[in-house]
C-alpha cells in the first residue's frame, strides 16, 4: 500500500511511516512570538502562559497561514533589528572609525587613504537582521587608475612557491614574486599606476602594478597603530586579518549603551571607471525585470576594486548590488523580506551543533541568488512576489537555492563566467542544501488549527 502525505506529496510504504513523517515536520506557530509547538495543546498552553495571541479560529489556506507566520510573526519577532539598537550601533561605529582614520591619515604614507568610509554589504543595503552587530565598510583610496591588466593576460607571479606569512610581517619583494608567469583570473585586474606615481603608491607596487596584499597589510598595520595611540576608554578591541580573507575585522566589546559585541569588516577599495557592463550585463532577461532607469542607476553605481586575492584586485559589483537591492521590490512585494528571512534562518543553521558553522558560506551568495530567482520567476503568475504569496516565494527560494548548492553552480549576477560557489566545499554546500530542503518541508506542514 502506498500512502501519500497530503501536505508535501511525498509517498510512503505504510501508513505508520507516513504518520511519523507528518509528526516530524508538523508545527504549530505562535503568531505573537513565532515559537514553534508540536501540538495544538502545546500551542494553546504556550499562548495562555505567555499571554500571547491564541491560535486563529478559522482554518486558512496554506498561503494565508504562511503569510501570518512568516511576515506577521517570524519577521517581526526574529528578523528585524530594533531601531534604537541600530541607531546607537551605527553612530558608535561611524564615530569610532572616524577617530581611527584621522590617526591613520597622519601616519607616514597615510595620506593615500581618503577620509571616505563607505558602507558596504548589509550595512549599505539595510538588510541587517536580529541585532546590529556586524558592519562592513570600505576605506576608499585616493589614487585612481586609468589602466588595468584584465583577465586572460599574463603577468609575473609565482603562486606555488609563495607562502604567505602572518600579516604583521613585512614580506620582501624578491620572496614574493620569483620570475614566473600567471594569467589574471576572470573577475580580477591588476591596476597599473603612472610612471611618476608618488612613493606611497610605488612602495606597494610591483612593476607598476598595485598589489592588494600589500595595501591590505599596510592598512592593517596603520589601524593597529591607531588603536594603540587613540584613547579607546574601556573598550576591548581585537583586530584580525586572515591572509586569504578580503577584510580586516575588528571586534569591539564593552560599548556604552550596547549590550552585545560588534564586529566591523574593513576593506581598502579603489574607485574605478570600469563599466558595470564589462561582462555583458544587462542580459535580455534582466531587461524584462528591470526598467531602463533602474539599469541606468545600477550602471551609475559603478565598480570598485577590493583585495580578495593576494595579487590581483577583485572587480566588485557591491555598489551595483546595493543599488539593485534598494529598488528590487515594488509596492507590497516580498523579495527583501524573503531575503532577510533566509539570512535569519541561515543564522539559526550556523548555530546548529552539527553544522560546523557552515564554513565559508556568507550571505553574499544569497543576494546573487535573489537576483537570479527574480529573473527566473518573471514568467510566473501575476503578482508572484506579492506579500500574500510570501509563503510560496520563500519556499521556492529555498528549493532553488538547494538546487544551486547541490549543482555547485551559482554565477555572479553581473559576471556569469564567475561561479561564486566554485571554491566552496561540496560537503558544506550539501549541508546548506539540506537545511534549505528541511525548512521548506517544515513550512509545507504548518498547522494553525
Nearest CA to 245 out of 272, 263, 227 is that of 263
Cα-to-chain-centroid distance, residue 297: 21
Q: Pick the piece of the chain touching Zn ion (CB under 5 A) from 3-11, 229-237, 307-315, 424-432.
A: 3-11
For 277, the grid coordinates are 557592463
Name the residue with cell 608567469.
Answer: 181
- Taking the complex as a whole, the smallest distance from the CB of residue 31 to Zn ion amounts, in Å, to 8
32 binds Zn ion per the rule CB under 5 A: yes
8 binds Zn ion per the rule CB under 5 A: yes
- Taking the complex as a whole, the smallest distance from the CB of residue 387 to Zn ion amounts, in Å, to 22
| Closer by beta carbon to Zn ion, 17 or else 278 | 17
295 binds Zn ion per the rule CB under 5 A: no
Residues 3, 7, 99, 326: which binds Zn ion (CB under 5 A)?
7
| Closer by beta carbon to Zn ion, 50 or else 426 | 50
Binding string, residues 51-80; x marks residues near Zn ion by CB under 5 A: -x----------------------------
| Closer by beta carbon to Zn ion, 77 or else 329 | 77
Residue 352 is given by DSSP the state: S
Nearest CA to 343 out of 383, 370, 377 is that of 370
Secondary structure of residue 73 in the 3-state scheme: helix
- Taking the complex as a whole, the smallest distance from the CB of residue 33 to Zn ion amounts, in Å, to 3
| Closer by beta carbon to Zn ion, 8 or else 17 | 8
Q: Pick the piece of the chain touching Zn ion (CB under 5 A) from 7-15, 136-144, 327-335, 381-389.
A: 7-15
- Taking the complex as a whole, the smallest distance from the CB of residue 392 to Zn ion amounts, in Å, to 16
Q: Pick the piece of the chain touching Zn ion (CB under 5 A) from 30-38, 83-91, 167-175, 239-247.
A: 30-38
12 binds Zn ion per the rule CB under 5 A: no
Angle, alpha carbons 123-131-100 (nearest 5°): 50
| Closer by beta carbon to Zn ion, 52 or else 224 | 52
5 binds Zn ion per the rule CB under 5 A: yes
Residue 186 backbone zone (phi > 0: left; psi -120 to 50: alpha; other: beta):
beta
On whether the CB atoms of residues 433 and 424 are closer than 8 A, the answer is no
36 binds Zn ion per the rule CB under 5 A: no
Binding string, residues 376-415; x marks residues near Zn ion by CB under 5 A: ----------------------------------------
43 binds Zn ion per the rule CB under 5 A: no
For 166, the grid coordinates are 602572518
Question: What is the spatial distance between Cα 445 and Cα 7, in angstroms, rounded to a whole number?
Answer: 6
Q: Pick the piece of the chain touching Zn ion (CB under 5 A) from 32-40, 74-82, 308-316, 400-408.
A: 32-40
Question: What is the spatial distance between Cα 249 and Cα 263, in angstroms, rounded to a whole number?
Answer: 7
| Closer by beta carbon to Zn ion, 33 or else 182 | 33
Query: How many other C-beta atoms are found inside a 10 Å radius of the C-beta of residue 283?
Result: 11
- Taking the complex as a whole, the smallest distance from the CB of residue 438 to Zn ion amounts, in Å, to 12
> Partners of 191 in the beta sheet?
148
Question: What is the spatial distance between Cα 380 and Cα 332, in angstroms, rounded to a whole number?
Answer: 17
- Taking the complex as a whole, the smallest distance from the CB of residue 56 to Zn ion amounts, in Å, to 14
| Closer by beta carbon to Zn ion, 74 or else 96 | 74
> Partners of 252 in the beta sheet?
237, 262
Q: Pick the piece of the chain touching Zn ion (CB under 5 A) from 5-13, 155-163, 274-282, 354-362.
A: 5-13
- Taking the complex as a whole, the smallest distance from the CB of residue 190 to Zn ion amounts, in Å, to 53
Question: What is the spatial distance between Cα 170 and Cα 165, in angstroms, rounded to a whole number?
Answer: 8
Question: What is the spatial distance between Cα 265 and Cα 268, in angstroms, rounded to a whole number?
Answer: 10
Binding string, residues 261-280; x marks residues near Zn ion by CB under 5 A: --------------------
Question: What is the spatial distance between Cα 175 and Cα 169, in angstroms, rounded to a whole number?
Answer: 13
Residues 29, 30, 145, 358: which binds Zn ion (CB under 5 A)?
30
Nearest CA to 122 out of 113, 110, 135, 112 is that of 135
- Taking the complex as a whole, the smallest distance from the CB of residue 66 to Zn ion amounts, in Å, to 15
- Taking the complex as a whole, the smallest distance from the CB of residue 70 to Zn ion amounts, in Å, to 15
Question: What is the spatial distance between Cα 241 and Cα 105, in angstroms, rounded to a whole number?
Answer: 20
| Closer by beta carbon to Zn ion, 271 or else 447 | 447
Residue 121 backbone zone (phi > 0: left; psi -120 to 50: alpha; other: beta):
left
- Taking the complex as a whole, the smallest distance from the CB of residue 30 to Zn ion amounts, in Å, to 3
How many chain residues interact with Zn ion (CB under 5 A)? Answer: 9
Burial 20-50 (b: 16+ CB within 10 A, else e): ebbeebbbbbbbbbbbbbeeeeebeebbeee
Q: Which residues contact residue 38 at a Cβ distance below 8 angstroms, ignoring those fewer than 6 apart?
A: 26, 27, 28
Backbone angles phi, psi at 47, to 5 degrees: -65, -40
- Taking the complex as a whole, the smallest distance from the CB of residue 439 to Zn ion amounts, in Å, to 14
33 binds Zn ion per the rule CB under 5 A: yes
* Residues binding Zn ion (CB under 5 A): 5, 7-8, 10, 30, 32-33, 35, 52
Amino acid at each position: 500500500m502506498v500512502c501519500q502525505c497530503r501536505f508535501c506529496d511525498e509517498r510512503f510504504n505504510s501508513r505508520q511511516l507516513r504518520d511519523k513523517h507528518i509528526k516530524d515536520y508538523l508545527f504549530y506557530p505562535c503568531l505573537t512570538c513565532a515559537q514553534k509547538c508540536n501540538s495544538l495543546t502545546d500551542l494553546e498552553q504556550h499562548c495562555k502562559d505567555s499571554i500571547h495571541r491564541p491560535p486563529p479560529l478559522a482554518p486558512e489556506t496554506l498561503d494565508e497561514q504562511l503569510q501570518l507566520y512568516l511576515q506577521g510573526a517570524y519577521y517581526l519577532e526574529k528578523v528585524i533589528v530594533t531601531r534604537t539598537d541600530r541607531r546607537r550601533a551605527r553612530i558608535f561605529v561611524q564615530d569610532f572609525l572616524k577617530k581611527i582614520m584621522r590617526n591613520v591619515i597622519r601616519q607616514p604614507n597615510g595620506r593615500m587613504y581618503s577620509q571616505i568610509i563607505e558602507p558596504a554589504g548589509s550595512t549599505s543595503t539595510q538588510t541587517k537582521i536580529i541585532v546590529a552587530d556586524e558592519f562592513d565598510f570600505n576605506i576608499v583610496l585616493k589614487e585612481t587608475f586609468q589602466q588595468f591588466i584584465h583577465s586572460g593576460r599574463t603577468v609575473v607571479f609565482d603562486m606555488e612557491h609563495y607562502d604567505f606569512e602572518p600579516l604583521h610581517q613585512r614580506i620582501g619583494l624578491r620572496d614574493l614574486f620569483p620570475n614566473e608567469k600567471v594569467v589574471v583570473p576572470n573577475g580580477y585586474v591588476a591596476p597599473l599606476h603612472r610612471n611618476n606615481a608618488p612613493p606611497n603608491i610605488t612602495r606597494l607596487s610591483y612593476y607598476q602594478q598595485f598589489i592588494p596584499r600589500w595595501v591590505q597589510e599596510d592598512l592593517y598595520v596603520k589601524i593597529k597603530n591607531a588603536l594603540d595611540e587613540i584613547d579607546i576608554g574601556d573598550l576591548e578591541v581585537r583586530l584580525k586579518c586572515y591572509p586569504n580573507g578580503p577584510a580586516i575585522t575588528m571586534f569591539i566589546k564593552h560599548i556604552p549603551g550596547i549590550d552585545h559585541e560588534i564586529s566591523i569588516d574593513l576593506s581598502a577599495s579603489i574607485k574605478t571607471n570600469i563599466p558595470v557592463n564589462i561582462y555583458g550585463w544587462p542580459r535580455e532577461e534582466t531587461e524584462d525585470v528591470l526598467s531602463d532607469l533602474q539599469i541606468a542607476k545600477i550602471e551609475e553605481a559603478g565598480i570598485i576594486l577590493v583585495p580578495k586575492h593576494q595579487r590581483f584586485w577583485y572587480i566588485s559589483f557591491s555598489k551595483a548590488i546595493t543599488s539593485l537591492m534598494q529598488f528590487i521590490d515594488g509596492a507590497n512585494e516580498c523579495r527583501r523580506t524573503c531575503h532577510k528571512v533566509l539570512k535569519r534562518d541561515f543564522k539559526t543553521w550556523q548555530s546548529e551543533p552539527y553544522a560546523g558553522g557552515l564554513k565559508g558560506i556568507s550571505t553574499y551568495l544569497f543576494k546573487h541568488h535573489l537576483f537570479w530567482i527574480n529573473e527566473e520567476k518573471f514568467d510566473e503568475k501575476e503578482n508572484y512576489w506579492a506579500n500574500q504569496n510570501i509563503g510560496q516565494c520563500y519556499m521556492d527560494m529555498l528549493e532553488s537555492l538547494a538546487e544551486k548548492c547541490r549543482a555547485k553552480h551559482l554565477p555572479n549576477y553581473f559576471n556569469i563566467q564567475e561561479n561564486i560557489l566554485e571554491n566552496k566545499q561540496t560537503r558544506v554546500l550539501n549541508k546548506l542544501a539540506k537545511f534549505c530542503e528541511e525548512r521548506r518541508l517544515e513550512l509545507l506542514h504548518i498547522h494553525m488549527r
